[in-house]
Structure 1
Amino acid sequence: MLGFLDDVFDIRWRHKLPIPIIACIPLLIVYYSERGATDVVVPIPLRWLLGTLINLGPLYYVYMSLLSTFCTNSINILAGINGSEVSQAVVIAVSVILNDLLYLPWAFGFRIPLPIHVTDGVKVGGVWSAGMAYGSRILVERHLFSLYFMLPLLGVCLGFMYHNWYPARAFPGDTLCYVTGMAFAVVGIQAHFSKTLLLFFLPQIFNFVLSCPQLFGLVPCPRHRVPRYDPETQLLHPSRAEFKDKRPTALATLVLRVFSALGLVQLEFDERSGEVARTTNLTILNVFLLRLGPMREDSLTKVLIATQVCGSLVAFFVRYGLAGLVYDGNRR
């Protein structure tokens, strides 16, 4: 509903950012009513200082509300071309589903008996297969819960993607971004794999960090930062932001010069003052066009999908290949 109201009334960014915090209040209440843990496992290198577990208390609820805000808005700011929003949701949903399947009893195709014991009033053990749950009924139930959300979400997104692909006949608006982002936040929080979930958002994290100078006012931020369309060639080009009303601050100039040195933006300077006059908008879509050259809209969406898939592959490698260096056992 909040996403729909955003589409109807065209809410400004400064008012739009807190909306997911309001929307996640019922989620936090459910988490609290189910005696949700607020303990965090400390990485092995820091345990000499902080111990094995640290209780964040109310700060953990602040973290969960910020996670909900990030999941919704990170998809929303990586948007503007046909298929971009829904394709992100599809790849992330598939990644979460694959992660869930690793924890189901039949994950590795055979079953082994495990001793039954009681943990927090719940029976753990019995006859389970050698999946990543390692005999934990709680882990299996958590990832089944996640599947109950992700499978319908994936089906809806695939159906919508058919109509939203270039040339689109339907558009997602903020409604789809809020629905998908909050769905990911719900399963990440309620199924207790929020850190793994964030790994599936690596392209969105990069895009958010890149966008921060514009989102927080260091660099002029147009209402829409979508790539510029050339009707003659039907190709997309990087869009630009101009310093019209105010001169760039020293911090803004430093940040833009660093981004320029990394090949993330293209700058134009004022001939008289030598100051930055224009810059390409700070989004990953404009970076693709800057590095790969102008391309058709559907081609740019395919590049975004490929990037999202590569990000998920890196996430699985980090989660199941490198996590053992800083966490022991199956802790997440």
Structure 2
Amino acid sequence: MAYAGHTTIIIPKPLIPYVGLKVLDLGWIYKLYMGLLAVFCTNSINIHAGLNGLEAGQTVVIASAILIHNVMQIGASTVPEYQQAHAFSIYLIQPLLTTSLALLCYNWYPSSVFVGDTYTYFAGMTMAVVGILGHFSETLLIFFMPQVLNFLLSFPQLIGYYKCPRHRLPSFDPQTGLLTGTDDGTLVNKFLRWFGRATEKSLCLRLLAFQVFGCCICFLLRHLLAGWYK
């Protein structure tokens, strides 16, 4: 409701002959996308969870990527309005990043502080706001690539196609201290089924490494695709 920016997208050069336009105004469809993005970001951190340090850790990784992206775009642009939008994003993402880093110190395995819905909703909505009002909502979605994958894996259970228990956590073996993946459709369980059993700490590190990989892919895509719009 607060968004008063453009609703247009620039068509990549290779697609212009097929679309017939260089700039396409999506109108209400673009605003619908942003509304859905806000809902997704708010809930995606909350459902990609269940391990000590995972919720705060993924927020730190994404917030760091957003901050780097904003600095890069301010340096690359000469349009004051565009620079101001990314500066506004920096003003909001810096407090989120620093407070999440402090929280991560206590939320890391073995955790002495648990984040719960209060933090995950706050973190997701903050990143949605900076992405929408900073005018990089498409890039933001790519930063959330692991969360998108987790949502797609979870979708059949979320809509009730398969039985969806209240907590879709992996099973814990107290004798070995290892986690085993269940049949539930979450990225946490998928990682355990794909790569074998692991301790909670090592599994969290793998998932955060995958988050870093997703953010790097986003930067690579923007660098490669930038020439398509000139």
Please state which band the TM-score falls in when normalised by the shorter chain.
over 0.9
Instruction: Write the distance in 2 (CA, Å) between the matches of 1:66 and 1:316.
Output: 23
**Partner SS, residue 102 of structure 1:** helix
**Bigger radius of gyration:** 1
Asked if 1:132 is matched to 2:33, the reply is no
From 192, 202, 206, the counterpart of 1:299: 202
Shift of 1:51: 1.2
From 196, 210, 235, the counterpart of 2:178: 235
- Structure 1's 60 and 221: CA in aligned 2 closer, same or farther, altered over 3 A? same
Alignment-mate amino acid for residue 12 of structure 2: P
Matching residue of 2:223? 320
Asked if 1:43 is matched to 2:12, the reply is yes
Matching residue of 1:288? 191
Size of the alignment, in residue pairs? 229
Matching residue of 2:133? 190
**1:132-171 residue pairs with structure 2 within 5 A?**
132-133=76-77, 135-171=78-114
Alignment-mate amino acid for residue 51 of structure 1: L
Kept in 1: contact 2:11–2:229 (CA 8 A)? no
Instruction: Write the distance in 2 (CA, Å) between the matches of 1:188 and 1:44.
Output: 25
Matching residue of 1:59? 29
Structure 2 gaps of 5+ residues are none
Matching residue of 1:260? none
TM norm structure 1: 0.66
1:109-141 residue CA offsets vs partner (Å, 9 max, x unmatched): xxxxxxxxxxxxxxxxxxxxxx311x2222221
Larger fraction in helix: 2
Kept in 1: contact 2:10–2:229 (CA 8 A)? no
Shift of 1:150: 0.9
Kept in 2: contact 1:42–1:50 (CA 8 A)? no
Instruction: Write the distance in 2 (CA, Å) between the matches of 1:237 and 1:198.
Output: 30
Q: Alignment identity in percent?
A: 45
TM norm structure 2: 0.94
Matching residue of 1:94? 64
Shift of 1:50: 4.7
Shift of 1:306: 0.5
1:119-176 residue CA offsets vs partner (Å, 9 max, x unmatched): xxxxxxxxxxxx311x222222111111101111001100111111111111111111
**Partner SS, residue 229 of structure 1:** strand
Instruction: Write the distance in 2 (CA, Å) between the matches of 1:50 and 1:179.
Output: 41
Larger fraction in strand: 1
Which shows bigger deviation, 68-77 or 50-59?
A: 50-59
Shift of 1:40: 2.2
Instruction: Write the distance in 1 (CA, Å) between the matches of 2:118 and 2:40.
Output: 15
Shift of 1:323: 4.1
